[in-house]
Amino acid sequence: MPPQSPRPYGPQGYDQQSYPQGYGTPARGTPAYDGTPAHGTPAYGTPPHGTPACDGTPAHGTPAYGARGRGPAPLFDTPMHGTPRYRGPYDPDADDSFVRGGHPVHDETGETAVPAAPYIPGPRREAPPRRADEQEAEAAGTGTGTEETAAERQPARSGGLGRTLTGIAAAAITTVLAVVVAGQVTEGGGGGAPQARAADGPADRAGVESPASRSDDRPARTPSAPPSAPPTYEQLMARQFPIDPRMDGSGRFEAVPGFDKAPGKGRKIRYRVDVEQGLGLDGALFAQAVQKTLNDRRSWAGNGEMTFERISSGEPEWVITLASPGTTGEWCRKSGLDTTVDNVSCDSASTERVMVNAFRWAQGSDTFGPEAMHAYRQMLINHEVGHRLGHSHVSCRTPGALAPVMQQQTKSLDIDGVECRPNPWVHPGS
């Protein structure tokens, strides 16, 4: 603040002893200078060690003083940053406006204009740093050839960040549009309609088309096949299964678990199904085939005299056994039968087992052929169980007729010059 005194400015209106020549008006409340420095303060004119001597040029932000002997100078020449500008001798009605930045506005004619409006930063914003040439020019009291005026610099401080972000966004949009247009021109060069596509990777962004980005080179996506249903009983019974015709198994048997109730009337025959361990054949399929075949109306239960029930525990009347060729031959020899010549099955009457040769079960015979595997397996079961029920071999008597189920159809369909057709059933006409 300027001194609150109506007395005229200058040393003429003050005590020359209290205010030496050339000094301005002290601030209110400041003791008069009497030429005696305070305790520990060097005398005027002798700067402290390391302090540059006063050469008439004040430090940045320090009020300038007039030259000694030239009369009074304005109290302030270039105010410090944030210091009010004094406009002359004290006038209580004068406008002591504050100027932010400490620079008056200069126009091209060199005349001093009205200071710009004060800069009031928004919330959590700071003014951008000032250039080094501006700071040097401000310290020297001069302007640079390219210095902006306060009026030009003020909008840059308040809107520079917004214009920068807007420019970045515009540049990004322009780049994306350029890439899309380049893709349209590249793909539309063959005469077809141009198609826009997004950049897939660095090759696309660089203007080089990546092979992976072309739909022509990509393998066509084939619809996945629905999961296949498991094969049915009829489908499995019609298949052949691989097996060694000279296979000699372990000789150990295992009962097929489960229970199949006798479905018909008549005498109930309870039986069990065993499968030799290590065969690699489906024991459950074999047990199902035995139960279905024996209780078919064309089989031994067809006339209602008997019905068959499968068990896996307890005491059965007999056991129908699926075994390797070697094991089958061993069990058949126990009843005086040789099955190794033609690799056939037998009813080992002296034992509880009805032996079914696994090779015949898996591969069938030439008399039926591979296309009639289901029928051959039905004949094999009915024939060997018929022996267990007390029936002996019977040969065909009428050429071209169906062979009896007790004929050895595995070996031949031509007996004594009478050739018959294959037949799996006891009562084929039922």
pLDDT tens-digit map of 186-203: 444 444 444 444 444 444
Higher pLDDT: 139 or 262? It is 262
**Mean model confidence pLDDT for the chain:** 72
* Poorest-pLDDT segment among 41-45, 175-179, 336-340: 41-45
Q: Is the pLDDT of residue 409 over 80?
A: yes
Mapped onto helix, strand or coil, the DSSP state of residue 373 is: helix
Q: Which two tokens stand for residue 250?
A: 């372990």
- Determine how β-strand 112-113 pairs with β-strand 105-106: antiparallel
Mapped onto helix, strand or coil, the DSSP state of residue 225 is: coil
Q: Is the pLDDT of residue 341 over 60?
A: yes
pLDDT, mean of residues 366-380: 98
Note the pLDDT of residue 178: 60
Angle, helix 283-294 to helix 373-388, in steps of 10 degrees:
70
Q: Is the pLDDT of residue 122 over 80?
A: no
Note the pLDDT of residue 165: 54
Note the pLDDT of residue 322: 98
Q: Is the pLDDT of residue 297 over 70?
A: yes
Q: Is the pLDDT of residue 390 over 90?
A: yes
Q: Which residues pair with 255 in a beta bridge?
A: 274
What are the tens digits of pLDDT across the range 135-146?
665 655 544 444
Determine contact, residues 81/61, Cβ cutoff 8 Å.
yes
Q: How confident is the model at residue 421 (pLDDT cuts 50, 70, 90)?
A: very high
Note the pLDDT of residue 226: 77
Q: Which two tokens stand for residue 390?
A: 């007390």
Note the pLDDT of residue 150: 44
Note the pLDDT of residue 430: 75
Q: Is the pLDDT of residue 82 over 80?
A: no
Pinpoint the alpha helices (H) of 146-273: 150-187, 202-205, 233-237
Q: Which residues pair with 354 in a beta bridge?
A: 320, 347
| Separation of alpha carbons 160 and 130, rounded Å | 13
Q: How confident is the model at residue 228 (pLDDT cuts 50, 70, 90)?
A: confident
| Separation of alpha carbons 99 and 116, rounded Å | 8
Mapped onto helix, strand or coil, the DSSP state of residue 79 is: coil
Name which of 324, 298, 313, 305 is nearest 381 in CA terms: 298
Q: Is the pLDDT of residue 37 over 70?
A: no
Higher pLDDT: 182 or 321? It is 321
Mapped onto helix, strand or coil, the DSSP state of residue 364 is: coil
Q: How confident is the model at residue 241 (pLDDT cuts 50, 70, 90)?
A: very high
| Separation of alpha carbons 399 and 394, rounded Å | 14
pLDDT, mean of residues 172-198: 51
List of domains in the chain: 1-31+43-116 (no CATH), 234-419 (3.40.390)
Q: Is the pLDDT of residue 121 over 80?
A: no
Q: Is the pLDDT of residue 108 over 70?
A: no
What percent of the chain is predicted at pLDDT more than 90? 46
Backbone angles phi, psi at 213, to 5 degrees: -85, -10
Q: Is the pLDDT of residue 99 over 90?
A: no
User: Which single residue is written with the structure tokens 């700067």?
Assistant: 47
CB-facing half-sphere around the CA of 63: CA atoms within 13 A = 17
Q: How confident is the model at residue 41 (pLDDT cuts 50, 70, 90)?
A: very low
What percent of the chain is predicted at pLDDT more than 70? 48
- Other Cβ atoms less than 10 A from the Cβ of 423: the count is 21
pLDDT, mean of residues 167-175: 63
How does DSSP assign 155-169, residue by residue?
A: HHHHHHHHHHHHHHH
Q: Is the pLDDT of residue 281 over 70?
A: yes
